[in-house]
Structure 1
Amino acid sequence: RSDLLKKCGTRFREDMFLMEDYLFVLELLPFCKEIYSLRKPIYRYRQAEDERSAYRRLQRIENLAEYMQPFEQGLKTLGIPCEHVENLYSMLLKQRMYYASFPEIRSLVAQHNRGKYCRLKQPHPLNIYLCSRLVQIRHKLAVAVKSSSFFRKDRADRKHD
């Protein structure tokens, strides 16, 4: 309700461009007296961007540990353990490293090792790079095979059997 928003002064942060809706809810929850659970969704969240677009948004975050601080504060206000923020941080860091070049991965791991969440172990930069490239090559190969005329012909033949 708009009166609640005005009363507590909670607003979407314009400087946040990733998970800003989640942060908005975290900051609003302490002011709520009741929470209703509906069986059917009010809306369905659809993210129309491809993985590369999501990666570009992640690249805009200069320091992921600093970016996570408002989330940590919101969860702390609600009495939720910081483990949740650590899991979120690890997930975002891994996503950011997925499409990064090897030098970028090294830089991100070095930044991580100097940061607040340094106790969360990360694989060696070379392992991260090789694993992500292997997955990308496997995906390209699968797309190429499925797009080939041989695969489509074989699949059509099986439908008629």
Structure 2
Amino acid sequence: MKKVIVAFTGLIALLIAGILVIMFVPTIASSDENDPIAGLRAASMNALIDVSGLKSKAASALHDNLDTISAATGLSEADCAQIVYSLDVQNWEAAVLPNSAEELGSISGSYAGLDGTLTYYDDPEYITVNAYGQNVTMKIPESAQAYLPYLQLAEQYLDQAA
């Protein structure tokens, strides 16, 4: 269960970075892959993310807090560093969610007073971050996809704890 928390910590950091971007660009990614403008929106979002340096900031925040993540999860800092490395935040991209993707679940969280929801799908390449009423769908690298099953476990854990 503690490994689930580590995975969430990394994803929440990305969520925070996404929230900051969402504040500046409304309705970034469409969930309709047939929308001709959706691809342009995703490309614009990727350019904005790259220019803003949000990926680097999110990765740095994760690395800078390895001791805190380790203390919260009971994992060694080395294990936490490997998980953060595997999340490969630098290669996450805004994308258009395929129409065939079916929602499996979602998990909500707060950090530094910001609320957000992370939605995951049967297609492990995609997640959607919702914050401030805006959605950004992200296509994530294969190394990060290995941690998505932990979202289901965490969602069940949080439901039982409530």
Per the normalisation by structure 1, the TM-score is 0.28
**Larger Rg belongs to:** 1
* Higher share of residues assigned helix: 1
Q: Point out the structure with the larger strand share.
A: 2
The structure with higher relative contact order (CA 8 Å, sep 6+) is 2
